[in-house]
Structure 1
Amino acid sequence: MDGTGVPLITPFDEDGELDAERLRELVRWVQDGGVDFIVPCGSNSEAELMGVEERARVVELVADEADVPVMAGTGHPGLAETLRQTDLAAEAGADAALVVTPFYYSHDDETIESYYREVADESPIPVYLYSVPAYTDVKLSPEVVGRLADHDNVAGMKDSSGDVESLQRERRLTEDASFDLLVGSGSVYAHALDAGADGGILGLANVAPERASEIYQFHLAGEDDAARQLNAELVELNRAVTSKYGVPGAKAAMAERGVSAGYPRKPHRPVEEDVRAEIADLIDDATP
């Protein structure tokens, strides 16, 4: 997959239950904004606060509503759960699986590589590696990425480290493979595209799908200066709805844009009014 993907927000009602109709509405919202593919059950989806069967239901709803490819987040700390989640995602209609690095316990590079090979061997759909050290404290090394790229069922990677140097090394080590390299940080989207990324999976695309997609379209047109300028204009909004205020901030921002993303699931809490006002100002600046 290439282009602009979105780790789709999961809407919950006030009691913390999945809101299926709102989820369908969000699929239509991001598609109308121009995203190229959708990623349910990623980090911005609150996937780690959902059970296996609930994640499968989310993927089923998204795949049924979407007109673009679906890459489902299926990773768990353990192999058995990851394999089961991946099977369920395939049955629900996902086109590919996004598998986060095993976390909680520490593992060396050889163990992580072996884990991914086993997942890719067993998965009925293509597997994308997922490195998000800010949440897992695990960073896939470029050398492991390069070796895994040769596996027939490893289709690519989402690198959410924000480290463009690592991304450039990953690109160099995978250049002879059919391997989609996707960046996971909206703050460096244009720079990552310049460095050889094929696209991105951006939390920002929940809030401003049309603007995130515009960065990629500028890049395709060879207008890299315009892509970088637009990216710079979106940095503060991206920071607010990811690293600064997280999922509650993203849901507040979407409400400011007139699309209901429901409530954050506990232990998350809705943002306070001063934060909501700050986000509203950033939305005004970033989405003219």
Structure 2
Amino acid sequence: MTTQPPAPHNPAPHHPAPPLGRTLCAMITPFTPSGALDLDGAQRLAHHLVAHGCDGLVLSGTTGESPTTSDTEKSDLVRAVREAVGDRAKVITGVGTPDTRHTAELAREAEKAGADGLLVVAPYYSTPPQEAIEAHFRQTADACGLPLMLYDIPARTGTRIEPETLLRLAEHPGIIAVKDCSQDFLGAQKVLSRTDLAYYAGCDEHNLALYAVGGTGYVSTVANVVPDRLRAVLDAFDAGDTARAARLQQQATPLIEAVMSAGLPGTVTAKSLLNALGLPAGPVRSPLQPAGRGRADELLTLHAALVGT
């Protein structure tokens, strides 16, 4: 009996070139012990993250404590990080506010400061209807020459960017990407299948799953502390070793859960770990409070277990 040769190994589907990077870190904003903006620390952390696998840095997002940094601090942060990373990574900055005029002003300032793109969250608190949300994004995109990554995180804004709204917004040439924290995997696939929008997982537990169905990459809080381990997941998938990609994602799950889903904001847990690892972070700004000693020790133990595998 003739033995059939093994089926040829087929690599994973090719992903289009990412417009704003593939492995993006939602970078924390380092502060000095007194709570001032630490631009030197931001440059050192940015250099570290890029050297360890991040090809994009997202500043002044949720993890970057944007609600408690001033407009001037946001612009200064862009300039400092741009100087630190040069052209080795994309620099995207959050400009989202509940005020369309203010958001447009921040967009123009970010362009002057040297950003490559903008992260724009749905306007929060006022809970505008979908038509108003769409107009908000279009006006922001028209206000400057930078591309927009829309940030869909209804758990924080109180308002979803509905898939039908995303389908319409995809027609705007300045709106090119989505950071997806909607927890609606079907909705994300619907938009992916019908547009050219670059989709980035905004929840670390979805990094591999969204990538596997055509996503572009991730914007990760956990990448602050294990940038190389998260990049390895996507690298394995791209190499066609999907079993290894799944195994690496599973190995990271305990740390992902501890950082993102254990009762404290990701900013607090990420800064706790970075401080313990001797990397620039500093305190959080009120109303956030630092992690307690027990949680800090747990995070450090889980980090050591992951990097030791």
Q: Secondary structure at the match of 2:224?
A: helix
CA contact (8 A) 1:2 1:182 kept: no
Determine whether 1:256 maps to 2:276: yes
Determine whether 1:209 maps to 2:227: yes
Q: Secondary structure at the match of 1:147?
A: helix
In the TM superposition, 1:70-149 aligns within 5 A as 70-149=91-170
- Equivalent residues, number: 285
* CA-CA distance at 1:33 after TM superposition: 1.1
Residue type of the alignment partner of 2:289: R
Q: Tell me: CA distance 1:235–1:99, structure 2 relative to 1, closer, same or farther (3 Å).
A: same
What is the CA–CA distance in structure 2 between the aligned matches of 1:172 and 1:219, rounded to whole Å?
A: 20
What is the CA–CA distance in structure 2 between the aligned matches of 1:121 and 1:35, rounded to whole Å?
A: 29
Root mean square deviation of aligned Cα:
1.3
Query: Which range moves more in the overlay, 196-205 or 222-231?
Result: 222-231
Identity of aligned residues (%): 29
Q: Secondary structure at the match of 2:172?
A: coil
Q: Deviations over 1:235-266 (max 9, x none)?
A: 22122222332212111112233313111112
What is the CA–CA distance in structure 1 between the aligned matches of 2:32 and 2:65, rounded to whole Å?
A: 14
Q: Secondary structure at the match of 2:245?
A: helix
Q: Secondary structure at the match of 2:63?
A: helix
Residue type of the alignment partner of 2:31: F
What is the CA–CA distance in structure 2 between the aligned matches of 1:36 and 1:220, rounded to whole Å?
A: 16
| Equivalence for 1:28 | 47
Q: Deviations over 1:105-155 (max 9, x none)?
A: 111111111111111122221111111122112221111111111111111
Q: Deviations over 1:204-224 (max 9, x none)?
A: 111110111111111211222
What is the CA–CA distance in structure 2 between the aligned matches of 1:200 and 1:167, rounded to whole Å?
A: 14
CA contact (8 A) 2:122 2:159 kept: yes
Residue type of the alignment partner of 2:120: V
CA contact (8 A) 1:5 1:35 kept: yes
| Equivalence for 1:283 | 303
CA contact (8 A) 1:159 1:183 kept: yes
Q: Secondary structure at the match of 1:70?
A: strand
| Equivalence for 1:37 | 56
| Equivalence for 2:287 | 267
What is the CA–CA distance in structure 2 between the aligned matches of 1:282 and 1:13, rounded to whole Å?
A: 26
What is the CA–CA distance in structure 2 between the aligned matches of 1:47 and 1:223, rounded to whole Å?
A: 38
| Equivalence for 1:161 | 182
Q: Deviations over 1:71-118 (max 9, x none)?
A: 111111111110111111111100111101100111111111111111
Structure 1 residue runs of 4+, over 6 Å off? Answer: none
| Equivalence for 1:183 | 201
CA contact (8 A) 1:187 1:232 kept: no
TM-score, structure 1 as length reference: 0.95
Gapped regions of structure 2 (runs ≥ 5): 1-19
Residue type of the alignment partner of 2:41: R
Residue type of the alignment partner of 1:187: E
Determine whether 1:193 maps to 2:211: yes
Determine whether 1:151 maps to 2:172: yes
| Equivalence for 2:247 | 229
* CA-CA distance at 1:166 after TM superposition: 2.0
| Equivalence for 2:89 | 68
Q: Secondary structure at the match of 1:182?
A: strand
CA contact (8 A) 1:182 1:199 kept: yes
Q: Deviations over 1:144-174 (max 9, x none)?
A: 1111111111111111123322211120121
Determine which structure has more spread, i.e. the larger CA radius of gyration: 2
Q: Secondary structure at the match of 1:103?
A: coil
Residue type of the alignment partner of 1:252: S
What is the CA–CA distance in structure 1 between the aligned matches of 2:65 and 2:232, rounded to whole Å?
A: 26
CA contact (8 A) 1:256 1:283 kept: no
| Higher share of residues assigned helix | 1
What is the CA–CA distance in structure 2 between the aligned matches of 1:17 and 1:257, rounded to whole Å?
A: 21
| Equivalence for 2:70 | 51
| Equivalence for 1:218 | 236
CA contact (8 A) 1:30 1:209 kept: yes
